[in-house]
Structure 1
């Protein structure tokens, strides 16, 4: 990885209606990604007034669809493994290798607002191994912000952005 093409980092990308498919059902969720040279932090929030698959039940497919969307936008290009001089034949943007490289740097945070949470309080959970046997560690937003050295505002989503309109 060279630093010449990293001048645009860190960057934040929002995908207010990230589509995904879970089984035979179509779904949508809110995604906010913070992309730096070494880390990919993604906040995935459940939409309110929404009747599709939950972000908890569909975490594996949401991770896959989100990484594919970010890779297609070129947001993960800096994670691509360096090519050897003799590998000129290998494509520069191989989506599978970009996705694998991004997974190695991924921190996935799941969020339910007060309107969508079972407890009527907003919740945040770091999802460990979100593509294989996911495990959730629930944490308060202040502790999350401190633990991930990220501005607390990244984890707070305007409720109007979470309204699905269904």
Structure 2
């Protein structure tokens, strides 16, 4: 088990699939895996009319953690577990990663209720119930320790094509 990470790894998932309400949903994820935790920008796609990122945020969160762990590993964010307990501790694994995750929900201009677009920090309680706090790009960048440009996504990458 690799339990330390000294560098930040950046990943994009242009068409991240998640369980939707009536059918599978899709969104755009931009992820920074840091030694101290995750920063995830979850974007609603333009001209997409399936389950919104707001309505599926809990499912997207858990699916994203699973995918990121499969792709690059997140062991460095959890307390080491005995090998014979790992299967039983999946819920604990997810819970520990969630506590070290900054989740930012992004609606680009032209998607969602605000014509100018929006950014919101989404916090999760122990039962993964979400609470949204809408912020400016500058505030989000300041709290995440990144340049505001990190929260800009090329609109071509957000265009939904079925």
Which position in structure 1 is the counterpart of 2:73?
A: 75
Q: Which residue of 1 aligns with 2:120?
A: 125
User: Aligned-pair RMSD on alpha carbons?
Assistant: 2.4
Q: Structure 2: state its 5+ residue gaps.
A: none
Tell me the CA shift for residue 102 of structure 1. 1.1
SS at match of 2:28: strand
- CA deviations over 1:114-153 (Å, ceiling 9, x no partner): 0213221021000111763311111110111112222212
Q: How does 1:27-46 map to 2 (within 5 A)?
A: 27-46=25-44
Match of 1:153 in 2: 149
Partner of 1:107: 102
| Match of residue 141 from structure 1 | 137
TM-score where L is the length of structure 2 = 0.86
Give the match's secondary structure for 1:127.
strand
TM-score normalised by the chain length of structure 1: 0.84
Structure 2 SS opposite 1:17: strand
Which of 45, 48, 61 aligns to 2:46? It is: 48
Q: SS of 2:153's equivalent?
A: coil
* Map of 2:159 onto structure 1: 163
Gaps of 5+ in 1: none
The Cα of 1:30 is off from its aligned counterpart by: 0.3
**Offset from partner CA, 1:64-123 (integer Å, 9 cap, x none):** 11111111113313224235xxx465569x755442321110110000010213221021
Name the structure 2 match of 1:11.
Answer: 9
How many residue pairs get aligned? The number is 160
